[in-house]
Amino acid sequence: MATTTPPRRISQWTLRLAAGQAATSAAIPLNASVGAVATAHLSGHDGMAGTSVGLALLSSVAALWVAGRVSDRHGRLPVLMAGLALLTVGALICAASIVLKSYPLLMIGTIVFGCGQGPAMMHRAAAADLYPVEQRAHGVGLVVSAGAIGSIIGPLLGSGLVLVAAALSLNESAAPWFLVPITGLTALVLVRGIAVDPRDVARQLGDYFPGAVDEPEHGEPRTRRELLQLSPARAAITAAALIQAAMVGVMGVTAVVLNKQGMGPAVIGIFISAHFLGMFGLAAPLGRLADRAGRRRALLAGIAVTGVGAVGTSLLGHSLLILPFFFLLGLGWCASWVAGTTILADVTTPRERGRLTASNDQIVALCGATAVISAGFVLERFGFPAVGISLAAILMIALVPVLRLRETSPGVYAE
């Protein structure tokens, strides 16, 4: 058995990965809030609001196809650093598009931003490499929970930049984007300082956790098709994809609804902070719960909580009462993200983990993009309640593979 307390080196590297997750979590809300409003304004159609989030998600699909292969062949660190760099460049292009009032330039910036978004979200997969199975979900949760720092401080600092821009008579709408270069480049330096690539740590866990068994790597790595045929992987990916669809679909249009109620970027930023606090704030205890009670139970809880959050947010979307439901929408996603990532690590070797995680993120991004683009048109034609109720209904499909999942003990599955 592995030791209860992780070695100092593992803890330090986990903190560096957490810094990358915090920077990523500070950046992504900008596209859901500032980006969505700018898209509606520059395009001249409220129904186009969701395309900023959707286009970023579609871009991440293409980037993840490359990221998965690079991650398994060359390690996790090159992928993570590239993701942080692309987020920074994309944010600067988006800021320039708002200043120049150019919708095409905004779309270009969104594509670059999305190409960084997918790889940058793989910090939690690198954390899974650093821990043995009995501590793996907690390790993933520790890194994911760092997103709470970015999700809270990011929008608040972005709102602060709006106030500074106003005082200097500069463009207020573009100001929040300049947060990304500050946080992204700092995190890039910290992640680059990890001495041993997490993929290589996973190959020799016994060198770091006395008594831990090294991850087996016999024969050639399985193909994506073979990995996706594993029933635990199918359950985890289905739950993650449909929860992402419900969450992003509702979140992607909420900023537009709030903006129409007369709430400016600073107030909307506070609502987004509450949502992202739900997404990341309790990830560490949820990870420990998944290690003790099992990944399957965590997935079931995530499905239920996300459904409640989606319906509640959409029904109360015209008032301040959405705050707790917006939080629950993120909390359900958190449970599935931690448990699902851990399941994918449980059933793969270090040379397979990157491609399966990337495949998961591609499917999740496609579902999220479809949901958020559709949500914009549903919002315009049928109203906000129809968005939340329809997505919550679709989410229930995820119950089928998760209920069929046989987890004999935490992290151990029967096909």
Closest by alpha carbon to 385, among 328, 315, 293, 326? 315
Tokens standing for 15? Answer: 């903190």
Q: How far apart are CA 111 and CA 129, in angstroms?
A: 29
pLDDT tens per residue across span 353-392: 999 999 999 998 888 878 888 888 888 888 888 989 999 9
Tokens standing for 98? Answer: 């708002």
pLDDT tens per residue across span 216-270: 666 788 888 999 999 999 999 999 999 999 998 888 788 777 777 766 666 676 7
Q: How would residue 415 be classed by pLDDT, with cut points 50, 70 and 90? A: low
Q: Which amino acid is at 208?
A: Y
How distant, in Å, are the alpha carbons of 281, 323, 330 from that of 333? Answer: 12, 16, 5
Q: How far apart are CA 284 and CA 55, in angstroms?
A: 30
CB distance 258 to 268 below 8 Å = yes
Structural domains of the chain, ranges and CATH numbers in brackets: 8-205+224-413 (1.20.1250.20)
413 DSSP β-pair partners: 407
Arithmetic mean of pLDDT over the chain: 87
State the Cα angle at 205 between 199 and 210, rounded to 5°: 160
SS3 call for 300: helix
Determine the distance from the C-alpha atom of residue 183 to the mean position of all C-alpha atoms in its chain, rounded to a whole number: 17
Q: How would residue 149 be classed by pLDDT, with cut points 50, 70 and 90? A: confident
Q: Is the pTM of this model over 0.85?
A: no
Lowest-pLDDT range of 28-32, 79-83, 193-197, 386-390: 28-32
pLDDT tens per residue across span 18-72: 999 999 888 887 887 787 778 877 877 766 666 777 788 789 888 998 999 999 9
Closest by alpha carbon to 83, among 45, 43, 124, 35? 124
Helix axis angle for 51-74 and 350-382, nearest 10°, is: 180
Residue 397's pLDDT is 95
Tokens standing for 110? Answer: 């969104």
Burial pattern 168-194, b for ≥16 Cβ within 10 A else e, equals: eeeebbbbbbbbbbebbeebbebbeeb
CB distance 210 to 342 below 8 Å = no
The DSSP result for 5-27, as a single string, is SPPHHHHHHHHHHHHHHHHHHHH
Question: Bigger pLDDT: 256 or 193?
Answer: 193
Q: How far apart are CA 198 and CA 31, in angstroms?
A: 29
The DSSP result for 180-237, as a single string, is HHHHHHHHHHHHHT-SS-HHHHHHTGGGTSTTPPPPP--SSPPPHHHHHTSHHHHHHH
Closest by alpha carbon to 234, among 372, 344, 328? 344
Residue in the block written with tokens 């200043």: 99
Tokens standing for 344? Answer: 């994918």
DSSP state at residue 110:
H
